[in-house]
Amino acid sequence: MGEKRPLIFISNDDGYQAKGINELIKYIGDMGELVVMAPNRSRSGKSSAITANHPVRYGLVEQSDNVKIYWCDGTPVDCVKLAKTTVLERKPDLLIAGINHGDNAGINAIYSGTIGAVMEGCLNGIPSIGYSVDNHSADAEFGHCSDAIRRIAQKVLDKGLPDGVCLNVNFPAEGELKGIKVCRQSSGVWENEWVKQTHPRGYDYYWLTGEFVEKEPDNKESDRWAFRNGYAAVTPITVDFTAYDMIDKIKSWNL
């Protein structure tokens, strides 16, 4: 008997029925043994939220020789944590979250449940990658990303990732990729975020929408520039939020 095939754990924030996660399973199905645990409904924008105040459940959706798919009624991070305790018989060799419907580049990474799952894998010592496509539609196209998805996943399986570092990969909405570009997280801000509407009973409520304003649209080192210009944008991100270059500065404040 040869060595075991890689164990690849998969999750997302769009839910196990989303097209993106099911395309991902097709693209990488021959790269290892797959275990999927993903939310049973959309959990977009859940960041690294955990479910602290009520219990969480999971169940089997379907299984074949090579793929087991589970639903979970918690957040993406709950999926990673619960799978570790319940359905994973060993530590995965790789975690992949996505393919997300909609980009998670720039500060969108902060809000993303997909990136939450990636960071949770990373915190548990699993080499972890998030894949996202710049198209929010339920029927977004993913085929143009398949080669790069396999290539990046195989490279991470071969090389690993350092402790505390994971990858946030963002693809253009369509078209042949110009290449794979290693980037940094771009900055920006959401504006005009709320639309007020009035309930028939007379009270106001607010829907979160908004427009993303890039602070550095022409910066070719940024992840947003890369995917807007036809590249797969690979941004290494860290779960260590420390602003190291500020430590000495704040020490000089003599608090």
**Is the dihedral angle over the CA atoms 203, 209, 210, 216 positive or is it negative?**
positive
Four-CA torsion 149, 212, 166, 147, nearest 10 degrees: 10
Choosing from 30, 91, 137, 194, the residue that interacts with a second copy (CB under 8 A) is 194
Choosing from 17, 182, 212, 230, the residue that interacts with a second copy (CB under 8 A) is 182
Is residue 198 a contact point for a second copy (CB under 8 A)? no
* CA proximity to 226, closest of 165, 174, 172, 168: 172
Please report which helix (H) or strand (E) contains residue 151, including its range. Answer: helix 146-159
Identify which of residues 22 and 124 has a Cβ nearer to a second copy in the complex.
124
* CA proximity to 98, closest of 28, 6, 186: 28
Choosing from 20, 116, 121, 172, the residue that interacts with a second copy (CB under 8 A) is 116
Is residue 48 a contact point for a second copy (CB under 8 A)? yes
Choosing from 152, 172, 225, 233, the residue that interacts with a second copy (CB under 8 A) is 152
Choosing from 15, 17, 50, 67, the residue that interacts with a second copy (CB under 8 A) is 50
* CA proximity to 10, closest of 243, 23, 244, 160: 23
Q: Segment 76-95, which members bind a second copy (CB under 8 A)?
A: 77-78, 81-82, 84-86
Nearest distance in Å: CB 180, a second copy: 4
Is residue 56 a contact point for a second copy (CB under 8 A)? yes
Is residue 42 a contact point for a second copy (CB under 8 A)? yes
Identify which of residues 25 and 82 has a Cβ nearer to a second copy in the complex.
82
Nearest distance in Å: CB 32, a second copy: 19
Distance CA 104, CA 116 (A): 11
Identify which of residues 36 and 79 has a Cβ nearer to a second copy in the complex.
79
46 contacts 13 by C-beta, under 8 angstroms = yes
Q: What is the total count of residues that contact a second copy (CB under 8 A)? A: 78
133 contacts 173 by C-beta, under 8 angstroms = yes
DSSP string, 158-214: HH---TTEEEEEEE-SSS---EEEE-BPPPEEEES-EEEEE-TTS-EEEEE--EEEE
Specify the stretch interacting with a second copy by CB under 8 A; choose among 17-25, 39-47, 62-70, 139-147. Answer: 39-47
Nearest distance in Å: CB 75, a second copy: 8
Nearest distance in Å: CB 135, a second copy: 16
Identify which of residues 2 and 55 has a Cβ nearer to a second copy in the complex.
55
Identify which of residues 138 and 250 has a Cβ nearer to a second copy in the complex.
250
Nearest distance in Å: CB 62, a second copy: 19
225 contacts 186 by C-beta, under 8 angstroms = yes
Distance CA 85, CA 105 (A): 30
Is residue 1 a contact point for a second copy (CB under 8 A)? no
Four-CA torsion 204, 207, 211, 214, nearest 10 degrees: 110
